[in-house]
């Protein structure tokens, strides 16, 4: 609780937290918040020439190429993007951390096997792997989330692995051993807190990359299936009209950037709050 | 030598009323206050002081290399007619290296690891337009000869990592001296080196100075080095000049209270009274027989012969209750590895018995139980404490993992332990970064004491500390020994510290003990040639005892410790010259 209070004291962090809350609320309460059905194509949503409408009094954020309300699509899109950005990215971070820490702390044959596996995964083009996996398994939101997690844990594992090795070679870990502290306790009580900053940075950076990876997959037809909206696929569907209908890319783009920035700010602030060495020296 | 500079001596550079401020966000701190000194051709000035005294910043100011946060509110640095502080950066660049050169403490980080020694020297020569093409190579060769680097041709093609620390520092000196600078600034040039290597480098600097008539400014914390090298001394403490006089005056009649305190705290080899063990030594705590540690060398191909590094070979000793055994030797001699083997931190062969229990091969809960009786203190108190835990958690952790007492009892015990090492109980709530080096080492000691051990392995416990703090920590260790009858294995490279705290001492060389006996026997009547060499290289904090390092200047090759697997090292045979004084026979 004291940590939360300290976080709220920083103005930018408070705003970031507020934005995250709004996105979460939008995702949960989409049916009530959205002015229209996100899949409904309005006749009056297009001009007589068939061009989408810019933002106006009826459609606050304008309409898309098929005459659907952009605001409703962005609100519903929050569901998909949150699941991809938070859940699948979270799974990637957990797997990556577990693999990296185990390989770095235990070393030996287990460490070698885990790291060779990571190298193997890295050698595959991530996109190709995702397409292959998504094509084999019936594409649905949850499958896409799992596929993205499977592709994204690799870099995290690599980074955490080298961090773990550098921290466990420090003197204080040797001291813990001489005191008789057990290996799991050293791992959880002494190593993990030092890994936290790295994990937080990767977790927050991962949000924007995973949201965009989902968009790429949607674009290629193996992601979230239309007409279900996601921030990524809204951008991809309309990117060719960027010059004539800028709002179609601008609003979902801002939504993604703001989400990723917010998580980043909160992550940074959390790292500082949890680090006792940054508090007053005497 | 240590006379007032005569009128014949040429003043090369003078620092006048120099003050340096470091501003950090909003507050400004004065780190050097009103510093005055002058450098004369062919004379050496030492700035002596402990950490945080501002001695290094003063030298950086002369080079115009102060960090960005530094401000110079007043002062002038006169070099000839010019004030270096007023000089534009481009003019400074021309002076740097050519007329004012600098040597740093860590030769590995100041050399470019990707360039050969020859390339780096030649680059310096070309940049300052001393010579071109083949002549530059010739000049580089001559310079390496001048700093007494053996096998010059071979060295020119080597990279810095292929050279030993002493060789690297010679190359650094060669690079600094190649332009025959008028002023040479050496910032702790020998602190990272072994004593015998230090003696060589100091002697070399003296010779080069004589030859080139350089004005030498040396920054050091080591009063022994000061006495050995200085003509003039400036003693600094927290940015303030405590004393500025000739070396003789500073050592024989120090004026300021701080200088007197500093000199009193410096351990002097050969002055400590011989110590008798406090408790009867008839109880043997630790018995080490045929201790051997070898590390496998990674093979580059499966056809290569398996080889290993022979780190420790056939080490034998005993340690009585309430006794301190010093293990002394230079870097790479295996003293720290011995300590780690005793702690069961690495695999070893041979036998280590603690109160009759065999430690070799001990694992799991048995090993955990033994940890209560044998504990370790590490060299670097900054690295040995987890920065993310409070002092209370750190000191209480041994109690927690061994399941001793409930939360309240543990808290009481932590307070008690902190008091024993001279810290107030309230510090339990604070974090390691809020303490100074000496205080941190006290916290480490409190941690080691938590389980009431009988034996403590102390690996260079005072080497990272300032001398005045060093004396306090040594005193603490001694008083704890008197009170609890602790036995110490005290590993150090510093002979004077060993003499102060140890009852017996073992000298290690290339993984073996070459001489062992009481401090009196080994340090005052050394029998083995290596011990004699080691002792003759220790600089004395006494101006009347100038040492002649010239005999040490020839380089001795240390035998290669890498041997094919299963190699049988010849066993050393010992002669007992006096009761308890063992010397390895050649």
pLDDT tens-digit series, residues B310-323: 889 999 999 998 89
By percentage, how much of chain A surpasses pLDDT 90?
A: 20
Instruction: Assess if residue A82 is contained within a domain.
Output: yes
Give the minimum alpha-carbon distance from B507 to chain A in angstroms, rounded to a whole number. Answer: 25
Helix, strand and coil percent figures for chain B, each rounded to 5: 35, 25, 40
ipTM over 0.85: no
Q: Each residue of B66-92: pLDDT tens digit?
A: 888 888 888 899 998 889 888 888 888
Instruction: Assess if residue A173 is contained within a domain.
Output: yes
Instruction: Assess if residue A50 is contained within a domain.
Output: no
Partners of B307 in the β-ladder: B297, B564
Confidence tier at A34 by pLDDT (50, 70, 90): confident
Query: Rounded mean pLDDT of A84-88?
Result: 86
B385/A176 touch (CB, cutoff 8 Å), yes or no: no
More reliable by pLDDT, B4 or B151: B151
Find the Cα–Cα–Cα–Cα dihedral A122, A125, A127, A131, rounded to 10°.
Answer: -100
Which residue in chain A has the smallest CA separation from B385?
A172
What's residue A150's pLDDT? 86
As a whole number of angstroms, the distance between CA B315 and CA B509 comes to 11
As a whole number of angstroms, the distance between CA A186 and CA A173 comes to 7
CB A100 within 8 A of CB A250: no
CB-nearest to B343 from A178, A280, A282 is A178
Tokens of B227: 């006495």
Query: Rounded mean pLDDT of A254-273?
Result: 86
Query: Rounded mean pLDDT of A44-70?
Result: 83
Instruction: Assess if residue A44 is contained within a domain.
Output: no
CB B255 within 8 A of CB B234: no
A180/B367 touch (CB, cutoff 8 Å), yes or no: yes
CB A228 within 8 A of CB A141: yes
Closest CA to B156 of B201, B119, B128, B130: B119
The set of residues, in sequence order, having a beta carbon less than 8 Å from that of B129 and lying 6+ positions away, is none
Instruction: Assess if residue A35 is contained within a domain.
Output: no
The set of residues, in sequence order, having a beta carbon less than 8 Å from that of B350 and lying 6+ positions away, is B288, B289, B290, B291, B292, B314, B315, B360
A175/B434 touch (CB, cutoff 8 Å), yes or no: no
Residue B551 has pLDDT above 80, yes or no: no
B398/A275 touch (CB, cutoff 8 Å), yes or no: no
Write out the residue range of the structural domain in which residue A181 sits: 11-30+65-276
The per-residue pLDDT of chain B, averaged, comes to 87
Tokens of A187: 């791992």
Closest CA to B58 of B229, B224, B239, B220: B239
What's residue B74's pLDDT? 85
Residue A282 has pLDDT above 50, yes or no: no
Show residues of chain B in contact with A272, CB under 8 Å: none
Say how many C-beta atoms besides its own lie within 10 A of residue A109's C-beta: 8
Closest CA to B74 of B38, B37, B33: B33
More reliable by pLDDT, A235 or B488: B488
Residues of B contacting chain A (CB within 8 angstroms): 343, 345, 367-368, 371-372, 375-376, 378, 380, 383-390, 397-398, 401-402, 430-431, 433-434, 444, 447, 451
Give the minimum alpha-carbon distance from B284 to chain A in angstroms, rounded to a whole number. Answer: 22
Show residues of chain A in contact with B384, CB under 8 Å: 171-172, 175
Query: Rounded mean pLDDT of A82-90?
Result: 87
What's residue B1's pLDDT? 43
What's residue B95's pLDDT? 87
Show residues of chain A in contact with B434, CB under 8 Å: 280-282
Q: Each residue of B381-428: pLDDT tens digit?
A: 888 999 888 999 999 999 999 988 888 999 999 999 999 898 998 889
DSSP state of A69: B
Lowest mean pLDDT among A63-72, A161-170, B478-487: A63-72
Best mutation target, A112, A177, A178, A184, to test chain B (most B CBs within 10 A): A178
By percentage, how much of chain A surpasses pLDDT 70?
A: 98
What's residue B235's pLDDT? 93
Confidence tier at B178 by pLDDT (50, 70, 90): confident
Cα A186 to the chain's mean position, in Å?
30
Instruction: Assess if residue A235 is contained within a domain.
Output: yes
Report how many domains make up chain A: 1
A and B: number of Cβ contacts within 8 A: 65
A178/B402 touch (CB, cutoff 8 Å), yes or no: no
Confidence tier at B216 by pLDDT (50, 70, 90): very high
Torsions phi, psi for B426 (to 5 deg): -65, -20
Best mutation target, B27, B359, B388, B391, to test chain A (most A CBs within 10 A): B388
CB-nearest to A174 from B345, B367, B402 is B345
SS3 call for A49: coil
As a whole number of angstroms, the distance between CA A69 and CA A59 comes to 6
Show residues of chain B in contact with A185, CB under 8 Å: 401
Residue B107 has pLDDT above 80, yes or no: no
Show residues of chain A in contact with B447, CB under 8 Å: 175, 179
Find the Cα–Cα–Cα–Cα dihedral B223, B225, B230, B236, rounded to 10°.
Answer: -40
As a whole number of angstroms, the distance between CA B417 and CA B442 comes to 10
Confidence tier at B286 by pLDDT (50, 70, 90): very high
What's residue A280's pLDDT? 45
What's residue B215's pLDDT? 93
Q: Each residue of A169-203: pLDDT tens digit?
A: 888 898 888 888 888 888 888 888 889 888 988 88
Residues of A contacting chain B (CB within 8 angstroms): 170-172, 174-182, 185, 190, 193-194, 275-277, 279-282
Most confidently modeled range among A56-65, A92-101, B117-126:
A92-101
Residue B175 has pLDDT above 80, yes or no: yes
What's residue A228's pLDDT? 83
Residue A130 has pLDDT above 80, yes or no: no
As a whole number of angstroms, the distance between CA B181 and CA B522 comes to 43
DSSP state of A139: P
Instruction: Assess if residue A84 is contained within a domain.
Output: yes
CB A225 within 8 A of CB A214: no
What's residue B217's pLDDT? 94
CB B100 within 8 A of CB B181: yes
Instruction: Assess if residue A54 is contained within a domain.
Output: no
Find the Cα–Cα–Cα–Cα dihedral B468, B470, B471, B474, rounded to 10°.
Answer: 170
What's residue B516's pLDDT? 93
CB A223 within 8 A of CB A231: no
CATH number (domain holding residue A152) = 1.10.3720.10
CB-nearest to A178 from B371, B388, B430 is B371
What's residue A35's pLDDT? 86
Residue B26 has pLDDT above 90, yes or no: no
A179/B401 touch (CB, cutoff 8 Å), yes or no: yes
Residue A66 has pLDDT above 70, yes or no: yes
- Catalogue the long-range contacts made by A53-58 (C-beta closer than 8 Å, 24 or more residues apart): A54/A245, A54/A247, A55/A247
Confidence tier at B40 by pLDDT (50, 70, 90): very high
């Amino acid at each position: 609780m004291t940590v939360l209070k300290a976080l709220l004291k920083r103005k930018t962090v408070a705003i970031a937290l507020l934005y995250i809350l709004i996105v979460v609320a939008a995702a949960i309460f989409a049916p009530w918040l959205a002015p229209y059905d996100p899949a409904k194509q309005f006749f009056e949503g297009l001009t007589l020439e068939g061009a989408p409408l810019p933002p106006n009094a009826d459609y606050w954020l304008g309409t898309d190429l098929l005459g659907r309300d952009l605001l409703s699509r962005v609100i519903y899109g929050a569901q998909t993007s949150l699941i991809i950005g938070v859940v699948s990215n979270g799974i990637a971070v957990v797997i990556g951390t577990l693999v990296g820490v185990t390989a770095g702390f235990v070393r030996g044959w287990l460490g070698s096997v885990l790291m060779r596996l990571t190298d193997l995964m890295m050698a595959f083009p991530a996109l190709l792997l995702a397409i292959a996996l998504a094509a084999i398994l019936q594409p649905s939101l949850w499958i896409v989330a799992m596929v993205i997690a499977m592709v994204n844990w690799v870099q995290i594992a690599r980074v955490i692995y080298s961090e773990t090795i550098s921290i466990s070679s420090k003197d204080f870990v040797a001291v813990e051993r001489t005191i008789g502290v057990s290996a799991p306790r050293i791992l959880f009580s002494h190593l993990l807190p030092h890994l936290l900053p790295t994990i937080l940075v990767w977790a927050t950076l991962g949000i924007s990359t995973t949201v965009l990876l989902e968009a790429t997959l949607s674009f290629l037809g193996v992601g979230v299936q239309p007409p279900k909206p996601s921030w990524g696929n809204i951008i991809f569907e309309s990117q060719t009209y960027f010059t004539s209908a800028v709002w179609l890319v601008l609003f979902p783009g801002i939504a993604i950037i703001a989400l990723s920035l917010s998580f980043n700010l909160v992550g940074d602030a959390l790292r500082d709050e949890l680090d006792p060495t940054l508090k007053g020296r005497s | 030598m240590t006379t007032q500079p005569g009128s014949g001596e040429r003043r090369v550079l003078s620092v006048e009323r120099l003050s340096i401020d470091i501003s950090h966000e909003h507050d400004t701190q004065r780190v050097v206050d009103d510093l005055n000194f002058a450098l004369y051709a062919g004379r050496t000035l030492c700035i002596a002081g402990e950490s945080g005294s501002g001695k290094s910043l003063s030298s950086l100011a002369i080079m115009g290399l102060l960090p960005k946060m530094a401000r110079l509110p007043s002062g002038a640095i006169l070099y000839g007619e010019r004030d270096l502080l007023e000089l534009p950066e481009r003019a400074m660049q021309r002076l740097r290296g050519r007329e004012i050169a600098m040597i740093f403490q860590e030769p590995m980080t100041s050399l470019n690891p990707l360039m050969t020694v020859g390339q780096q020297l030649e680059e310096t020569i070309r940049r300052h337009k001393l010579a071109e093409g083949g002549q530059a190579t010739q000049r580089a060769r001559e310079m390496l000869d001048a700093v007494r680097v053996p096998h010059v041709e071979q060295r020119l093609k080597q990279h810095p990592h292929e050279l030993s620390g002493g060789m690297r520092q010679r190359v650094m000196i060669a690079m600094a001296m190649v332009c025959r600078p008028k002023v040479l600034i050496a910032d702790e040039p020998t602190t990272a080196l072994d004593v015998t290597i230090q003696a060589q480098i100091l002697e070399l600097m003296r010779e080069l100075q004589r030859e080139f008539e350089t004005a030498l400014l040396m920054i050091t914390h080591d009063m022994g080095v000061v006495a050995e090298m200085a003509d003039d001394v400036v003693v600094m403490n927290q940015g303030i000049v405590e004393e500025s006089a000739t070396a003789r005056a500073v050592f024989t009649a120090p004026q300021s209270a701080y200088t007197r305190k500093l000199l009193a705290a410096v351990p002097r080899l050969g002055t400590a009274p011989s110590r008798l063990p406090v408790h009867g030594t008839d109880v043997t705590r630790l018995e080490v027989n045929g201790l051997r540690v070898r590390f496998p060398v990674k093979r580059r191909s499966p056809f290569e012969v398996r080889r290993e590094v022979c780190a420790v070979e056939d080490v034998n000793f005993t340690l009585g209750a309430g006794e301190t055994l010093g293990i002394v030797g230079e870097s790479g001699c295996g003293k720290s590895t011995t300590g780690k083997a005793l702690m069961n931190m690495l695999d070893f062969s041979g036998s280590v018995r603690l109160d009759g229990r065999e430690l070799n091969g001990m694992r799991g809960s048995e090993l955990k139980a033994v940890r209560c009786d044998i504990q370790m203190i590490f060299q670097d108190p900054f690295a040995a404490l987890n920065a993310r835990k409070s002092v209370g958690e750190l000191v209480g952790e041994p109690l927690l993992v061994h399941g001793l007492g409930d939360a309240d009892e543990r808290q009481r015990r932590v307070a008690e332990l902190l008091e024993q090492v001279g810290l107030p109980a309230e510090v339990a709530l604070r974090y390691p970064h809020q303490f100074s080096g000496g205080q941190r080492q006290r916290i480490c000691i409190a941690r080691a004491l938590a389980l009431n051990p009988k034996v403590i392995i102390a690996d260079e416990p005072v080497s990272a500390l300032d001398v005045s703090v060093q004396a306090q920590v040594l005193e603490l260790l001694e008083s704890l020994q008197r009170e609890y009858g602790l036995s110490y294995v005290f590993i150090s490279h510093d002979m004077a510290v060993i003499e102060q705290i140890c009852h017996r001492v073992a000298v290690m060389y290339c993984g073996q003990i070459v001489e062992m006996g009481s401090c009196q026997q080994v340090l005052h009547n050394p029998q083995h040639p290596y011990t004699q060499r080691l002792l003759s290289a220790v600089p004395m904090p006494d101006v009347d005892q100038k040492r002649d390092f010239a005999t040490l200047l020839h380089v001795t090759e240390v035998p290669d410790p890498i041997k094919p697997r299963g190699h049988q090292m010849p066993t050393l045979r010992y002669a007992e010259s006096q009761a308890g004084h063992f010397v390895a026979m050649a």
